[in-house]
Structure 1
Amino acid sequence: MDGAWVEAVDGSTFPVSDPATDAVFTQVPNSGAQDAKRAVDAAHSAFATWRKVPAKQRAAIIKRWNDLIVAHTEDLGKLISREQGKPLA
């Protein structure tokens, strides 16, 4: 919580498989209503700090996020393709 990856409140998970092969390649939290509430509460709490960050600094953070997405486009594309079972062009 608060910027960290967390497990589902009840600890349950579900498998993510490649639809093309049915091979399970990871497990992810099986989040429910309590998890959604925790996430909303954490976002609400974080916003109090984020709103105090000057616009120029927020823009730099978002630009850095964009740069990371662009730098890892191939890896992200492979992951999405695998998750959806679609060929990677």
Structure 2
Amino acid sequence: MIVGFSAASVEAAGAYSYPLIFLPFISSAFVPTGTMPGPVRRFAENQPVTSIVNTIRDLLARRPPGDDIWIALAWCAGILVVAYAFAMVTCHRKVA
């Protein structure tokens, strides 16, 4: 909703998704974060995709997920709250 209301055209709305497409590539989804260079490792270890992937990987392997599950849930809840707030603000500006 945020992208649809704030974009000037359909093509621009599609272009807004490009940064989100690259998040899994800079996470532990494909390679361990310990093998990444310093700044990339710090970013990868502190983004939502890494904690979500680590939690899902542990749950599927029937291992206890540890603190990653709470970090993943906190990221999901935080993103939901922020996205909802921005969507409401964007919707009210566009409709008003």
TM-score by length of 2: 0.30
TM-score by length of 1: 0.32
Greater share of strand residues, 1 or 2? 1
Greater share of helix residues, 1 or 2? 2
